Amino acid sequence: MAESAGAGVVTRPIVRVNGLRRRLGATEALAGISFELRRGEIVVLLGDNGAGKTTLLRAMSGLLRPGSGVVLTAGRPVTHSDPVSRAGVAYVGHRVSSYDELTVLENVRFAATLNGIGPADARIKSALRGVELWRFRSRRARELSRGMRQRLELALALATDPAVILLDEPYNALDGRSREAVDALLLERKANAVLLIATHDTDHAERLADRVLLLQRGRLLLDARLDEPGRPPLREMIANAVAAKTPIPEESTQPPPMDSLARHRPGPLAAWRTLVAREFRAELRSREFIPAMVVLGVLMLMGFSMAFIIPPEDAAAVASGSFWASLIFATILGAVRGFAVEHDRGTLQMQLLAPISRAAVFGGKWVVNFVSIGLVGLIVAAVTSGFFRVPFAGLGMVAIVLVAATALATVATLYGALLTNTRARELLAPVLMLPVILPIMIGGVAVSLDTLAVTADSGDPPWLGLVLAYCAILLSLSMLLVDFIFED
Q: How many CB atoms sit inside 10 A of residue 258's CB?
A: 18
Rounded to a whole number, what is the distance in angstroms from the first to the last CA of the chain?
Answer: 35
Listed in order, the ranges of the chain carrying CATH 3.40.50.300 are 3-88+162-244
Instruction: Indicate the pairing of strand 10-11 with strand 13-24.
Output: unpaired
Domain 3-88+162-244 in CATH 3.40.50.300: yes
CA distance 122 to 120: 6
Q: Read off the pLDDT band of 488 (50, 70, 90).
A: low
DSSP 140: B
Share of the chain above pLDDT 70, in %: 94
What does 184-235 look like in DSSP terms, one character per residue? Answer: HHHHHHGGGSEEEEE-S-HHHHHHH-SEEEEEETTEEEEEEESSSTTPPPHH
Residues paired with 92 in a beta bridge = 167
Q: Read off the pLDDT band of 114 (50, 70, 90).
A: very high
Residues paired with 36 in a beta bridge = 16
419 neighbors 429 (Cβ within 8 angstroms)? yes
Is the pLDDT reported for residue 36 higher than 90?
Answer: yes
CA distance 379 to 436: 24
CA distances from 373 to 30, 182, 197, 331, 333 (A): 44, 44, 44, 7, 11
CA distance 255 to 36: 10
Phi, psi of 54 (to 5 degrees): -65, -40
Mean of pLDDT over the chain:
86
pLDDT in tens, 446-476: 888 887 766 555 445 577 788 888 888 988 8
464 neighbors 451 (Cβ within 8 angstroms)? no
